A and B are shown apart, each in its own frame.
Chain A
Amino acid sequence: MNCHDFEKLALALARNSLPDATARDQGLIHTEVCNHCAARLAQERALLARVRAVAAEMAGEEPPARVDALLVAAFRAQTVATASSIVIPARSRVGRRFSWKLAAVAAGILILISVMAIIWKSTNSRMPQREDRVVAPTPLNTPGPRAEPPVGRDQVAGERPKNLPKRVRRHASVKSPDEAEVVTQFFSLREGEDLTTLDSLQVVRVELPGSALGEVGLPVDPETMNEPVKADVVLGQDGLARAIRFVR
């Protein structure tokens, strides 16, 4: 073996990852007779030792708890969405035998939803005192250029402000812009907390039972209180929910 051949093996020798035992032995024998290659191997080993010391020091470095919380929330939201998409075809198979009954039920649900939407809108417009509890624009504001401008009641979710931080925007906009959504104002979940003091916020789309509407003072229909409603939840750095808005 000469120095040129040794150079091809130097990294693997330093890493002790050379699978060919004969080549390894020849390489090591070469370092006994060639000071230059012995120094080369020592250099590689010294470099690897330095790198591995850094790797060992970094072994405990992990993403903060807020990333864990966000991903678990995303997993739960996706699981709910997947489960509902599985249930629907099953119902449609049953519906082949009872299609007229299902059609009637579906029509009834559509009418009920329309009536609820009208009642909800009219109730909200007659509830000025509720505005006190509404967290006006500031909840999603973060200092500096990452601030989100005011989000009005019944704003179309597809029309998102362009200066919303990408991380927040990405998780807030689950649907494509052409699938316009109607959203409520954000409701604070912690009275008196100033969210502008937080370094960063995350918005996660989730599905909650209809009864959650009542938690923030919105009207709840007893017949639909167990049906899922979509909501955007604002999470702080610690992963705790700070504000919520509902989505239609």
Chain B
Amino acid sequence: MSKKVNVTIDGKETQVPEGTNLIDAAESVGVHIPNLCYLKGMRGIGACRMCLVEIEGMKAPMIGCTTKVKEGMAVNTKTEQVEEVRKFVIDLILSMHPLDCMTCTKAGVCNLQKYAYDFEIKESNFNRKKFGYPVDEANPFIKRDPDYCVLCGRCVRVCKEQGTNVLEFMGRGVGSKIGTAMDKPLQESECTFCGSCVDVCPVNALLEADRWRKGREWEYTTHNSVCLSCGNGCDITVSELDGSVVKINAGADDGSAEKYICATGRFGFESAMSDARITTPLKRVDGKLQETTWKEALEIVADKIKAAKDNTGIISTGNILNQDAFVLSKFASDVMKTKNVDTTVSLYSDADSLKHSDTVDIDNADAIVLVGLNTSQKDRVLPALDAAVRKRASRGAKLIVINPQESAAGAAATVNIQADEASSLAGLSKALIDAGCKADKDLSSAVSGSTVSEEIAKAAELLKGAQSPVIFCSPSLFNAAQNISLLLKTKVAAVPFEANARGVVTLGLTTEGKTYQEMVSGTMYILYAIGEVPVEKRPRANFLVAQTSYLTDFAKEADVVLPAASYLESKGTITNYLGKNKTVNRIIEPAGDSKQHKDIIIELSKAMGSPIRDLAAKIKGAKEISKPSFSPFEKKKGLDVNASELTDSLNASVLKNSKLVWLKEAKEATV
């Protein structure tokens, strides 16, 4: 831990870590230093000058966002002189800001409004200015209205830091505006519509496009939850009004590198409330799906399962909750008595890699290695990991990318090793051993023949100098990457493509019989599919049960369809790729008659006469701790998937039934 220093802020004494700036230090004792341009976690730029404070013993006032605490510092945040400056700045901004708080969507959460209220400025004392720039509302995601912009530059910095680099200042001083390159509309720029800029805008200049007259912040109820769209499992904050979701924002702590959600996470929620949802159980009668009751549907399924002798199987996606996974594995072993239970996780990972993966705190990593993960925000392949890694890199961490193809992350890397992953890792180990790291016999003999290229030597040097290095790798390279942790105190995390992949394998949803791929392509008597499983054509099964939220192509082929609740309607936990348990909250009631996966399975077990109980207490991070030992530098076979296609097919219904469909259409229109 870093050293603590004593400071006094407005007469309140406190201890804060060395290197903290005054705004954060003041926040820790409950004193708010006004600011418009400061963003927690990023270096201050001192543009708005609102955070001026007076420090005893100094002649001139200092700005809070860039001044670091010193031992014995005494700070006054509310002297007459600095209050005057704050009023002056707000007064000036108000002279060029529309005064339409009564209809403004951001009313209540607008920083400018708050400060004008605090400083008792009804209207500006200065001459009114208006520039009349056109509003960019050509896309269905983000609306940009330069008239409201206060030129704080938060959006520009957040966009730069995460590596998208779309927004930039145009011009200088008053009359400048925020725009894209060549001032094109967002969809013609490199924008990924992640909406990070919307989250940081202090005023109404950047807003979700459809927020007009959909209630204002104080009318919403906000809930914390987790997005299950991809392997990142990002924290989200969901705003709900009258039983429907209005918007979703990034939910991670301010200042954390993980505070990011992609377009799918932010704008995909509409699908949960769309017509594409299945709201009642369906059964196949004369080749057509017809609505039926829960009782009847469950009886049909129960009878079929009872009648089946063998060759039954369960397939599931990896984004069901821990509670669902627990009940499902109980159901498979105790009720259905089948060994054929597997998830989509097996397409890209072995169970051990995820089970033994380290718990990682990305915010403290000072050297990050990406092995075989072609992360991309544009193609939405683990976008949050990509953003987090780039943010860490912008904040001073060293980034090393090992990828055989040219990768987007590689361009931002300190060292980009464009070579075969396994042999590069072997070379890296050799370079580390050469640099004096102790290794056992197996490891040193295994790498003795490896070549150390210039880049690898550089990477080894960076890793050796790092305090808390982290390796993120694709599961197929986990064991090879773990060898590095035998040499250095490196944490190694295998990154799956589904939010709860780690949770489902930990809870035993790994097959002892047929694998997912075998069940989907082979012949089964009964196939029970949970979630939106990516299957191209109907599997050869006598009886097909689909338990999903949407009428997917797969569900259309099923004999019985059981409506399941979406992730916004379920309650439970997940274990994300970093090893953290996160809580998923029920934000809206399940659509129609749909039920959460575990409730359906419990009902089904009752219908079969051997009810299982929901033993929630047993699901507590059943993490196996294993001591890493040497394993050969190899890439595990059969785990190569196209991550972008897999993610898209797992989220196909969400992409098809929300505004996100526009992205695809716009892309097709331009080609």
Chains A and B form a bound pair: no
Interface, chain B (partner A; CB < 8 A): none
